Amino acid sequence: MTRPRAVAFVASTLAYGGAERVLVEQVRALAPWGVPTDVWVTRRSPMHLAPELSAAGPHVREVALVPSTLRIAARLWRRRTDLVVAYHAPRAYRALLRLRRVPFAPRPVVVETVHERYRWALARFRDTRPRAIDACLLTHDLRATVGPWAGLPSSRLFVARPWFPSSLVDLDERAREAGRALRRRLGVGPASVVVGYFGRHGDNKGLLALVEVVRSLVADGLDVHLVLAGRACPELGDFDARLDAALRAAGADARGAGRFHRLGALDDPAAMYAALDVAVLLSRTEGLLPLFLVEAMSAGVAAVTTDVGGIAECLRDGVDAEVVRKRPDDEEDATPDVLADARARLARLVLDPSRRAALAAAGCARVRALVGGNDFAADTRAALTAALALGPRRAREGAVRADGAGA
C-alpha cells in the first residue's frame, strides 16, 4: 500500500506550541494524497489551531474533540481508518489496543510523532504507547533513544525535521513601523535594547530565569527592556501567577519601573520581532530547534539560547547565536553558573551594537539555509509511505514467527 484510504491524527491538545505547529504542517503535507483526513483531540482544552487545521486542505473532513477511548475506537472502525498519526495521546493508544481484541476490526498502521528525548516526552502510559505503535516519526535524530524505548528496529524509525517555509518571518516596512509603534507604546527609548521572548509561556522556557537575568542588567544600569509575549498555560497551575509576580517585583524599584512588559497573545507577531533587539531562550527542555528561534532569527534578531535538545546541532556558538552550554541536558532548570554565562553573553550584546548586528545577520542566514535545504512535507510523506509498506509490526512479526515454526 502506497497511500492510505483514510488518515487520523490524534493528539491530546490543540494549544499553540511547536508540537501543534508541526501537527498543522503534517496535515498540510498530506494534501497531495487527497485522502480523507481527521484530526482528533482527546483532552478538553482551547483548540487554538483548529482553524488552521481545517484550512490545511480540502482533504480535512473533521477537526473535533473526541474525549473518550470508546469514541475514538468507534470512529476508527466506522471510517475504516488505516493510518493513525499520534502524539502523546494515551486515550488513542487504549482505543487502538482495544480494537485489536475485536474480530474483523480495522488494524491501522500507527505512527507516533516524537519531538524530544526527555522522560515526560517518552511516557509509556502503562506500556500502552509502545505496544500500540508500529513506527515513529522523529523530528530529529533520536533513533538511539527511541528505538530501544519503543522496541522498534531502525527500519521503523523515520526523521522529518520541522523546518518549513511558514516558520520564516519577513519584515516589510509595515511590520517595521508596527515594531517602532510597539516600542513607543511600551515607553522604550531610541537607544534602549529590547530583550524578549515570544511563544507559549511554559514553565520549561526559562522565563522566570530570564526575568532575573534582565533584572540584574537593569540594576547594573544597562538600558534594557524585557518583553514577554504569547499565550499563558493555565494547565501549569500557579506558574502564570508566579511569572506575573516576578515581573511586578522586577519593575517595583526606580530602575526597573516601566521596563518589564507582558503582552499576552499578539495578532501581529511580526511587530514583536521588529521591536526586538535580542531574542533569549533559557529553556530546560526543547526539541530540535524551537519555533521562536527560527522566527526571531529569520527576522534578523540576534539570539541567546541554552543548548538543550537539538539546538546545538543546529546553531554554532559565537557564529549564529550565543549558545550557552547546559550540561547535563537533564530537564532541570539552569544552574547559577549557566545563568551567569547567559547574563554575561547578553550583557555583551546589549553593550556592543556591532556584535549584535553581526550575530543577527549570521543567525538569519543560518536558519534560512536550514529551512531552504529541508523538505518537511516530502520527508513526512516518504516516512508515512514507508510505514504503510511495512504494515503493522506485530501482525507481520507474528506471521514470520508462525512461518518459522511451521518450517
CB atoms within 10 A of CB 31: 16
Are 7-164+374-406 and 166-372 equal in CATH topology? yes
CA 243 to CA 227: how far, in whole Å?
Answer: 13
CA 28 to CA 34: how far, in whole Å?
Answer: 10
CA 348 to CA 386: how far, in whole Å?
Answer: 49
Q: Where are the domains of the chain?
A: 7-164+374-406, 166-372
pLDDT tens-place string over residues 348-398:
999 999 999 999 999 999 999 999 999 999 999 999 999 999 999 865 443
Q: Which residues of 41-64 are buried (b: 16+ CB within 10 A; e: fewer)?
A: bbeeeebebeebbeebbebbeebe
CA 62 to CA 337: how far, in whole Å?
Answer: 49
27, 50 contact by CB (below 8 A): no
**How many CA within 13 A on the CB side of residue 407?**
6
**Which residues, including other chains, have CB under 8 Å from residue 67's CB and lie 6 or more apart?**
42, 43, 44, 91
Q: Is 104 exposed, middle or buried (0-12, 13-18, 19+ CB in 10 A)?
A: exposed
Q: What homologous superfamily does CATH list for 7-164+374-406?
A: Glycogen Phosphorylase B; (3.40.50.2000)
Prediction pTM value: 0.92
**Which residues, including other chains, have CB under 8 Å from residue 306's CB and lie 6 or more apart?**
206, 281, 282, 283, 284, 323, 324, 325, 326, 334, 338, 342
Residue-by-residue pLDDT tens, the chain, 407 positions? 578 999 999 999 887 788 899 999 999 999 999 999 999 999 887 787 889 999 998 999 999 999 999 999 999 999 999 999 999 999 999 999 999 999 989 899 999 999 999 999 999 999 999 999 999 999 999 999 999 999 999 999 999 999 999 999 999 999 999 999 999 999 999 999 999 999 999 999 999 999 999 999 999 999 999 999 998 887 778 999 999 999 999 999 999 999 999 998 888 889 999 999 999 999 999 999 999 999 999 999 999 999 999 999 999 999 999 999 998 999 999 999 999 999 999 999 999 999 999 999 999 999 999 999 999 999 999 999 999 999 998 654 433 333 233 22
CATH topology of domain 166-372: Rossmann fold (3.40.50)
What DSSP assignment string belongs to 98-149? Answer: HHHTSTT----EEEEEE---STGGG--TTTHHHHH-SEEEESS--HHHHHHH
Q: Is 154 exposed, middle or buried (0-12, 13-18, 19+ CB in 10 A)?
A: exposed
